[in-house]
Amino acid sequence: MRIAILGTGHMATTLASGFIAAGHTVVFGSRDPAAHSDLAAPVTSAVEAIRDADLVVNAVLASFTLEFLTPLADDLAGKVLLDIGNAVTPSFELMYPTASLGELLQQALPAMKVVKSLNTLPGALALAPASLPEASSVFLSGDDSEAKALVSSLLAELGWGVETQVDLGGIASARGVEHYFPLFVAMMQQFQGVPFNIRVVR
């Protein structure tokens, strides 16, 4: 699968390493490709990266995502977008307290298929769920079942077995996982760098 990762920051490069290890072709999309020639995969413009992608991963700064992606509406039409962002202010307050970035992206770009996932856990854990002593949970939200199935298969390749994946339903449910972020930050501060995640017990 050809995966376009929009952004070149920590989460973008972390996920890229996992995708490449799983055998996928990765291309980064950046506003300034020439400034990122040292990455593990080619860096092009966002438009070029999106063009032939089977999956687009939004790893740009979440607070900037709508501004960045909306002008790319034609390029993203029909594409599956995995949105991993939590849109917060510099003081870690929710930017969309009565909505979610996932919902707003789907509204702004209705021809795109948004799937929300991987936004409730530390980046390194996304690639190594077995590093915790017990199995934990990862969530998916999205309106398109085929798009969620594509993301689900990718999660499985990263080590998230089907039994650890929790499909929350439509993209409206992304509000819940995004609003978990303040609790995540509080636990991160309390645990002082010790890896953690949450687990749904049924």
Looking at residue 36, its pLDDT comes to: 83
The residues, ordered by sequence, that sit 6+ positions from 44 with a Cβ below 8 Å of its Cβ are 27, 28, 29, 30, 33
What is the C-alpha separation between 105 and 147, in angstroms, rounded?
A: 15
Backbone angles phi, psi at 200, to 5 degrees: -85, 120
Per the CB < 8 A criterion, the answer to whether 101 and 115 are in contact is: no
Looking at residue 21, its pLDDT comes to: 95
Does 159 score more than 90 pLDDT?
A: yes
Domains of the chain: 2-191 (3.40.50.720)
What is the C-alpha separation between 2 and 8, in angstroms, rounded?
A: 17
The pLDDT tens digits of the residues spanning 66-94 come to 999 999 999 999 999 999 999 999 998 99
Does 32 score more than 90 pLDDT?
A: no
User: Burial of 74 by CB count in 10 Å (0-12 exposed, 13-18 middle, 19+ buried)?
Assistant: exposed
Looking at residue 136, its pLDDT comes to: 97
Does 35 score more than 90 pLDDT?
A: no
Give which of 155, 154, 124 is closest to 137, Cα–Cα. 155
Looking at residue 124, its pLDDT comes to: 87
Does 37 score more than 90 pLDDT?
A: no
**pTM for the whole thing?**
0.95
Q: What 3-state class would DSSP assign to 141?
A: strand
Looking at residue 193, its pLDDT comes to: 84
